[in-house]
Structure 1
Amino acid sequence: MDRRPTKVYRLGEFVERATFADLSNSAREQLELRILDAVGCAIGAVDAEPPLRIRALVADLGGAPRCTLFGGGRTAPDRAALYNAALVRYLDYNDSYLAPGETCHPSDNLGAVLAAAEYAGCDGRELLTALAVAYQVQCRLSDEAPVRRRGFDHVTHLAYSAAAGAARALGLDAESAANAMAIAGTALNALRVTRTGALSHWKGLAAPYAASCALEAALLAMRGITGPAEVFEGNKGFEDAIAGPFEIDWSKEGLDRVERTIVKRYNAEVHSQSTLEGVLELKAMHAIDPATIERVTIDTFDVAYHIIGGGEEGGKTSIGTKEEADHSLPYMVAVALLDGQVLPAQYELERIRRADVQRLLRRIFVRPDEGFSRRFPAEMPCRITVSTADNRFHAIEKRDYEGFVTRPMSWAAVATKFDELAAPHADEALRRELRNAVRGLKERAPVAELARLLARVGVGSQPNESEE
């Protein structure tokens, strides 16, 4: 790569110089909490059909047994990253980051960074540092170079962040890290059609695919393969073709962005979280019988309206699949009112297609509110008004939810979420070991120890992956 100070080379310098000492105590704790949350989401998805199909493909293709698959078996790093990241992402229950023009899921980086760390023989501190790098890169690109309004998906930023995190775990120097990001950033520009109209499996798999390819880019760069030095600012580069001009002074960046990410309380698209908390509070306060509901009106910020409320990304009342359901605010509110919760069970096909929820979701109306839009993303404001057959009206207004930056989840709360998700596939003893292993990453425990525990998660009948 040309050693002139191109933007990607300066980003490579940031990757190379990052150390565990750069992490504050708070950032370290939040990284461990995010890993536990992501691992819980992954374990909760091990029997889901799309990840099982990926696992079968990995078993069929084989690969050098260098990295661990959650649930047992070993394969090549990029294939382990694909499968493990698919598990983290599938339920759509992992963490999020809100920028004015972009929303992303930073724990989408975990599959690639964990595979790179295991491949390189890292300890827990090195894993935390590499993951912090990935979080910082993805979140700051979301802040300064949003792509959604130009028709590209937030996964476009993940190409750079996953390559950056993998490069840090692999111990690459600035030049090689820059090449890794240049390769991934040039090759992996995801289209927003992934999340508009009729949704497919790719909604949950676009990020895992990009992360696994970004890890492969880092492995190529480690072996001397170069990428376009002006991937950001060059002719037909990222700025010219996708994001427009932007500036980030990476020499002044820290590793603290993880502290501004948020954890989901409900198994639902992130912009729905405060609405769902409000709906459930309203139902409990007034003992609302869903059978009596005539209309639910939700006033919310414009991002929520456009993505999950029926705005520019398509209608949200024709719901027949899991992918459509967890991106439909009418469905999520309806099932919350009926079932009193929004968890993976609420996305079983039998539940989605039942007449009660299909009928109620058509009585739910979402509209944008300019005042709420101005308060986002510092807040997640909404107003819910429910009218019932006896001419009664119940209303509640929310500004955040438990898990938001202003009301962060405690370790105990995330551990409870982890246990709920993992219990069907990991007994109490294994869950305790996993919690302790994640909490102890900062004590220099080898990443391989965490990987061995993740291999013990039960997924039923195992494909015949290669074993060392």
Structure 2
Amino acid sequence: MTQIEAVARGKPEPVISGPSQADGIARFALRAKYDDLTAERRERLKVSILDAVACAINALGAPPIEACRAQADELGGPGGRCTLVGGGRANPVYAAFYNTALIRYVDFMDSYLARGGLCHPSDNTGAILAAGEHADLSGKDFLTALAVAYQVEAQLTASVPFMAHGFDLTTQLSYSLAAGLSKALGLDDQKTAAALGICGDFIPLLVARTTPISQWKGLSSSHLALGCFHGVLLASRGVTGPRYVVEGTDGLAQALGEQIRIDWDCVKLDAFDRLALKSYNTAVPGQASIHCMLELRNAHAIDPAQVESIENDAFQDAYDFMGGGRFGPKTDVHTKEQADHSLPYLLAVALLDGSVQPAQLAPERIAKPDVQKLLRKVQVRPDEGFTTRYPSETPSRITVRLTSGKSYTHEVNDYPGFATRPFTWDEIVAKLDDLAADRADEGLRKEIAAAVRSLESIRVKDLMNLLDRVD
């Protein structure tokens, strides 16, 4: 087992001598090998990669994405050597920025859940793809670098409750991107540690997730990808960073008021055992609640016009993120960003439409009177018993009460795509077909899926050439 100590002690004493956490992460990144991944974990990683590709294709054309594309076209250099999903090229820094924005924006990507926080490891994928194409990596080397990034982000998420202290869930991403990019670009231990020091100086705030939610919620990780790739390239040229960025004077640990002591020599590439993918187009804490509502709807002929109230008992993080708890009220819903983080909206539209996919987050659907009226009848409550079972389970209970006096109740422990019910390869291919059908024909989708499935036998540029053909 990994040896972790992260105990709140006010403002911990700084460490200014001996090996640092950055040194430890650098050693971990350098020693990681493709063969350290079991066959099952390789499969889970490939499923996540194809999931990320599906999300990226679906995001093409969204207004914030168009703004990112205009930025990449203007500043990324038309003669760049890295592919932009959907066609075009840019330098690796702006390819990392744009492709990360595509993967993250629709909020349909993978997650890693821990007590006190979560992260989206696929936030690493766009940047590592850009590095892989820039360095002409083999598929095996790309998988290894991405696995390093996934593990570093998950390890930090499991170790420290970043969000409890007001730091965004992308704080860990600064370190994982530094580690994964350094691995992909072949940096030595000293330059990798320098890259970690440079990138670890990027500290995003949790305000990006709180009410009122803006479009920045879906783009902040792409901003980190741009900055971290730039920082790693500087480290590759010999620029040094703060060695004790985590535990030093006024470093991350002091800002958090937490000791952060991870024995990176004991860390393994095993984060994939706890990856969760999404069945529904919403934030991950709400997946089980939506699944519960859809099962209840399928079991009973409920007329939404006769609904008096909908009650959702959920674990604390679901309530805080999406139910009106710590992150603010969730009944004033007019945009995609507000809708995909509002359990009142999502449960209402699930009952009305029998689905929560990108179509349910379209502006014209959000504005309709039926869902706007029904969402105000939804009450979300934290359940202490459910909270104790999280994150091993994601319990949720829905009770629908009708004006006739009749009521229906249903309870679930998880949802399809959760770590205990991982997607099969066929299921993730079906998700690709659903999300990418408007932009890639059946033949191209099959080629993309086959390329991801056989990454060991191709190069990164071969996959990117396929994504260049998406329109």
1:297 is paired with a residue whose SS is strand
* Pair 1:282-2:296 in alignment: yes
* Pair 1:61-2:75 in alignment: yes
TM-score (norm. length: structure 1): 0.96
Distance 1:410 1:360 in 2: 35
Q: How many residues align?
A: 455
* Pair 1:93-2:117 in alignment: no
* Pair 1:125-2:140 in alignment: yes
Shift of 1:328: 0.3
Shift of 1:243: 5.5
Asked if the contact 2:76–2:93 (Cα under 8 Å) also holds between the matched residues in 1, the reply is no
Shift of 1:130: 0.6
Distance 1:10 1:204 in 2: 31
Report the aligned-residue RMSD: 1.1
Distance 1:26 1:403 in 2: 16
* Pair 1:26-2:40 in alignment: yes
Please name the residue that 1:463 is paired with: none
1:394 is paired with a residue whose SS is strand
* Pair 1:160-2:189 in alignment: no
CA deviations on 1:325-381 (whole Å, 9 max, x unpaired) are: 000010011111111101111111111111111000000000001000100001000
Please name the residue that 1:250 is paired with: 264
Please name the residue that 2:322 is paired with: 308
Distance 2:179 2:468 in 1: 26
**Which amino acid in 1 is paired with 2:241?**
G
**Which amino acid in 1 is paired with 2:342?**
S
**Which amino acid in 2 is paired with 1:177?**
T
* Pair 1:171-2:186 in alignment: yes
Please name the residue that 2:9 is paired with: none
Shift of 1:95: 0.4
Please name the residue that 1:267 is paired with: 281
Distance change (3 Å), C-alpha of 1:62 and 1:81: closer
Please name the residue that 2:11 is paired with: none
Shift of 1:190: 0.5
CA deviations on 1:280-339 (whole Å, 9 max, x unpaired) are: 111111111211111000001111101100001100000111101000010011111111
**Residue in structure 2 matching 1:429, options 437, 440, 443:** 443
1:383 is paired with a residue whose SS is strand
TM-score (norm. length: structure 2): 0.95
Please name the residue that 1:180 is paired with: 195
**Which amino acid in 2 is paired with 1:20?**
Y
Alignment of 1:64-143 (within 5 A): 64-143=79-158
Shift of 1:96: 0.5
Distance 2:456 2:405 in 1: 57
Please name the residue that 1:368 is paired with: 382
**Residue in structure 2 matching 1:391, options 375, 386, 405:** 405
CA deviations on 1:25-76 (whole Å, 9 max, x unpaired) are: 1111111100000000000111111111110111122425121100111111
Shift of 1:103: 1.0
Distance 1:307 1:48 in 2: 24
* Pair 1:9-2:9 in alignment: no
Asked if the contact 1:146–1:243 (Cα under 8 Å) also holds between the matched residues in 2, the reply is no
Please name the residue that 2:212 is paired with: 198
Shift of 1:442: 2.1
Distance change (3 Å), C-alpha of 1:67 and 1:422: same
Please name the residue that 1:230 is paired with: 244
Distance 1:29 1:98 in 2: 19
Shift of 1:173: 1.1
Distance 2:241 2:289 in 1: 44
Distance 1:19 1:173 in 2: 15
Distance 1:268 1:298 in 2: 16
Asked if the contact 2:282–2:341 (Cα under 8 Å) also holds between the matched residues in 1, the reply is yes
Distance 1:420 1:252 in 2: 40
Please name the residue that 2:345 is paired with: 331
* Pair 1:455-2:468 in alignment: yes
Please name the residue that 2:426 is paired with: 412
**Which amino acid in 1 is paired with 2:317?**
V
Please name the residue that 1:211 is paired with: 225
Asked if the contact 1:145–1:243 (Cα under 8 Å) also holds between the matched residues in 2, the reply is no
Please name the residue that 1:35 is paired with: 49
1:433 is paired with a residue whose SS is helix
Distance 1:126 1:50 in 2: 32
CA deviations on 1:80-138 (whole Å, 9 max, x unpaired) are: 01110100011100000101011111000001111111111101001110110011000
2:309 is paired with a residue whose SS is strand
2:143 is paired with a residue whose SS is helix
Distance 2:24 2:296 in 1: 50
**Which amino acid in 2 is paired with 1:90?**
Y
Please name the residue that 2:8 is paired with: none
Distance 2:409 2:266 in 1: 45
What's the % identity of the aligned pairs? 49
Distance 1:114 1:61 in 2: 19
1:391 is paired with a residue whose SS is coil
Shift of 1:255: 0.9
1:44 is paired with a residue whose SS is helix
Distance 1:89 1:69 in 2: 15
**Which amino acid in 2 is paired with 1:160?**
Y
Asked if the contact 1:3–1:9 (Cα under 8 Å) also holds between the matched residues in 2, the reply is no
**Residue in structure 1 matching 2:372, options 358, 375, 389:** 358
Asked if the contact 2:76–2:95 (Cα under 8 Å) also holds between the matched residues in 1, the reply is no
Moved more, 61-70 or 384-393: 61-70
Distance 1:242 1:81 in 2: 29
Distance 1:405 1:10 in 2: 28
Distance 2:161 2:225 in 1: 19
Gaps of 5+ in 1: 459-468
Asked if the contact 2:246–2:260 (Cα under 8 Å) also holds between the matched residues in 1, the reply is no
**Which amino acid in 2 is paired with 1:398?**
V
Asked if the contact 1:85–1:208 (Cα under 8 Å) also holds between the matched residues in 2, the reply is yes
Moved over 3 A (4+): none
